[in-house]
Structure 1
């Protein structure tokens, strides 16, 4: 059974494309997701950053030219956990999302992105709310309890 997930965060490094011996390619990048909560005084209590490796599907890869270190993104896709052995012999694991769609979020001082949300192709963008905020002013009232980036 697949676990579908949607999350927002900041791109930690520019996308990297790897080519395999059979000619297939895979493009990945990391996204840092703030972890924490607001206390009773409405102060953010930081609990560190969770890093997620994003692997792009062909549909989501159309957005890669706009993905850069520091970009704030919304990712939807299939969640998995990969286990591996490090060079020193210890075991490690990573959270990995096979992205089916990428969206771009803007900071308060930035202009809204040119594209809304990438679906299977550019023609399937989600409608945007009127006004300057394409996410309808969700901000901190989105229920996720995350600070503005």
Structure 2
């Protein structure tokens, strides 16, 4: 049970092409977003869709794979952990961010 204290699994669609950054030590990082969708029926029987956007971060070998194989619109399964951080923007306003740091991902086949 110790390994599931901070565990996230998502199935969704990539919302943007990977944003790749390489640091001085040749360590690579990729940022992207994933959309997950849920549908339900309201009181009137109407189908309602709810889309949630998730900030995703990949490092090292996972980042290299994401850079090579993922693009906007791809369906993916990701497994990782939540990480929260804060920073001061250019106007000095403190901003808070929650991201999913990926341990593993798998690109799903296209419907075509």
> What is the TM-score of this pair, normalised by structure 1?
0.57
RMSD: 2.7
SS in 1 for 2:68: helix
Unaligned residue ranges in structure 1 (runs of 5+): 112-149
Q: 1:42 to 1:61 in 2, by over 3 A?
A: farther
Work out whether 1:4 is the aligned partner of 2:7: yes
The residue aligned with 1:20 is: 23
The residue aligned with 2:88 is: 85
The residue aligned with 1:44 is: 48
Asked if the contact 2:77/2:106 (under 8 Å) is kept, the reply is yes
Work out whether 1:65 is the aligned partner of 2:98: no
Unaligned residue ranges in structure 2 (runs of 5+): none
SS in 2 for 1:95: strand
In structure 2, how many angstroms separate the alpha carbons of the residues matched to 1:90 and 1:30?
23
Q: 1:57 to 1:20 in 2, by over 3 A?
A: closer
Runs of 4 or more above 4 Å deviation: none
Deviation at 1:91, TM superposition (A): 2.0
SS in 1 for 2:61: coil
Q: 1:16 to 1:63 in 2, by over 3 A?
A: closer
> What is the TM-score of this pair, normalised by structure 2?
0.72
Work out whether 1:94 is the aligned partner of 2:97: yes
How many residue pairs are counted as aligned between the two chains? 107
Deviation at 1:89, TM superposition (A): 2.0
- Higher relative contact order by CA 8 Å / sep ≥ 6: 1 or 2? 2
